[in-house]
Amino acid sequence: MNTKEENLACSIPTIHLNCSDKVKEAKKLRLACTNVGFFYLESHGLARDQLDEVLAASKEFFELPLEEKRCISDHEMTRGYTAMEEETLDPSNQTKGDTKEGFYIGQEIPKNHVLYNPAKLAGPNVWPGECGSCSISDHRKWKKIMQEYFSSCCDIGFQLQRLIALSLDLDEKFFDPHFTHYPLTALRLLHYSREESKPELGVFACGAHSDYGMLTLLLTDENPGLQIRTLEGSWIPIPPREGAFIVNLGDMLERWTNGLYLSTVHRVISEGSYERFSIPFFYEPSFDTVVEVLECCVDENNPPKYPRTTSGRHLLEKYSQTHADFNPHDQKGMIRNDEAHV
Which sequence spans correspond to the domains of the chain? 3-340
Average pLDDT over residues 158-179: 97
- Band of the pLDDT at 342, cuts 50, 70, 90? very low
For domain 3-340, the CATH superfamily is: B-lactam Antibiotic, Isopenicillin N Synthase; Chain (2.60.120.330)
pLDDT of residue 328: 52
pLDDT in tens, 138-148: 999 999 999 99
pLDDT in tens, 61-120: 999 999 999 999 998 888 999 999 999 999 999 999 999 999 999 999 999 999 999 988
pLDDT of residue 11: 75
pLDDT in tens, 4-26: 444 455 579 999 999 999 999 99
Distances (CA, A) of 88 to 32, 93, 202, 240, 312: 28, 10, 11, 24, 21
Closest CA to 152 of 53, 277, 249, 46: 46
- The answer to whether residues 41 and 160 touch, using CB atoms and an 8 Å cutoff, is yes
The answer on pLDDT for 332 being more than 80 is no
The answer on pLDDT for 341 being more than 60 is no
In degrees and rounded to multiples of 5, residue 327 shows phi and psi of -140, 70
pLDDT in tens, 199-208: 999 999 999 9
Looking at every residue in the chain, the average pLDDT score rounds to 90
* CA 306 from centre of chain: 22
- Band of the pLDDT at 322, cuts 50, 70, 90? low
Average pLDDT over residues 329-342: 35
Average pLDDT over residues 270-277: 96
* CA 309 from centre of chain: 19
